[in-house]
Amino acid sequence: MKSVLILMSTYNGEKYLKTQIDSLLAQKNVNVSIVVRDDGSTDGTISILNEYKKRNALEWYSGKNMGPAGSFLDLIYNAPLGYDYYAFCDQDDYWMEEKLYNAVTQLENYYARPALYHCELEIVDEDLKYIRTTHNSKKTEYIDQTLMVFYIPGCTMVFNNCLLEIVQKKIPRFDLITMHDCWMYYICLGIGGQIISDCKAYIKYRQHENNAIGASRIALKKKIQMICKKNNSPRVQMIAEIIRLYSFDMKKKIQMICKKNNSPRAQMIAEIIRLYSIDMKKEYLIHYEKFASYPKSLKSKKYFWRQSTRGIFTTRELQKAKLRILFQSL
């Protein structure tokens, strides 16, 4: 059986942590190992981790509070090489028992090159009752849209040793990396690795008020308030109003479009270019360079507006709204 090292970050996750870990240990037809980095928990998380460590079910270590991105990056760059595959894991979900085996089966065809797998999510409530299923695998068709609006949750990702070995060779500036999952995805894509998109869901993604990054439309009001508080300009207020009125007619994350004047993601892409440009495929490097110049260049801004909004609006009225927003943003 293939070996899989699961990389988990915890922070005050005592409420759902046991359910998550038990679902990892119940994975079928793979040899599972678990390493956990605790990001400074002050609740009962440490006691739970010690309980499982005494049973030799996992290893864990603690560090200063770095937030989800920093904590997972610490796991990535300290993960031991030699496992066949690696997987990111949150602290509050539930993995179906065939999740890893299904991923490994599809990744085996690409053992000699960097490869990354991701699947859909089954969104559930706090009691694991079904709400809906995501359809993110269809949104990765256009590279420019993927650069602009990232749809793929890290907890669905499984990647091979070949990719991790390449990533670990160069240490980035952690402050330039918006999230660990898009970091791994963009590197794999840029160097010509294989991206495997599975349209089936193998994770019950628990939606609750303490999610570090949620997948629910319930948090829409809070997101609008955050956008308005961060930038009180008339245009941002207008975008927030469009989100409030049309959010259920739009595909997710249109609100991200209004916040790209000095995009942290563009800085992260620039960091990937700095570290990995020699290894990158030329056609992808061109796209990445365009995106990295996006905050500075009016031409790039217009280009990525057009690319990233393909397929986001679903009605004629929203197509008109798209044009009005685009005109005012330029």
Name residues whose C-beta falls within 8 Å of residue 79's C-beta, 6 or more positions apart in sequence. 5, 7, 35, 86, 164, 168
Predicted pLDDT at 320: 57
Amino acid at 116: L
Query: What type of residue is 251?
Result: K
Give, in order, the Cα–Cα distances in Å from 203 to each of 97, 144, 153, 211. Answer: 9, 27, 11, 15
Distance CA 155, CA 287 (A): 26
State the chain's maximal CA–CA distance in angstroms.
Answer: 60
Tokens of 52: 């499982």
Say what the pLDDT of residue 145 is: 67
Cα–Cα dist 94/142, whole Å: 30
pTM of the model: 0.76
Token reading at 194: 């294989």
Beta bridge partners of 6: 34, 87
**Gap between the Cα atoms of 155 and 216, Å rounded:** 16
Q: Which stretches in the chain have pLDDT values below 50? A: 216-220, 227, 235-236, 238-239, 241-242, 245-261, 312-313, 325, 328-330
Task: Give the up-direction half-sphere exposure of residue 182: CA atoms within 13 A in the CB hemisphere.
Answer: 21
Q: What is the pLDDT of residue 218?
A: 41
CATH fold of 3-206: Spore Coat Polysaccharide Biosynthesis Protein SpsA; Chain A (3.90.550)
Q: Write the pLDDT tens digit of every residue in 123-169.
A: 999 999 999 999 877 666 566 667 766 778 999 999 999 999 999 98
CB 15 within 8 A of CB 93: no
- State phi, psi for 101 to the nearest 5 degrees: -65, -40
What are the C-alpha distances in Å from 318 to residues 56, 148, 254, 293, 307? 54, 19, 11, 28, 16
187: closest CA among 208, 206, 210, 170?
170
Query: Could you tell me the residue ranges of all domains in the chain?
Result: 3-206, 217-329
Residue in 216, 143, 132 with CA at minimum distance from that of residue 186: 143
pLDDT of 246 = 44
Question: How many CB atoms within 10 Å of residue 164?
Answer: 23
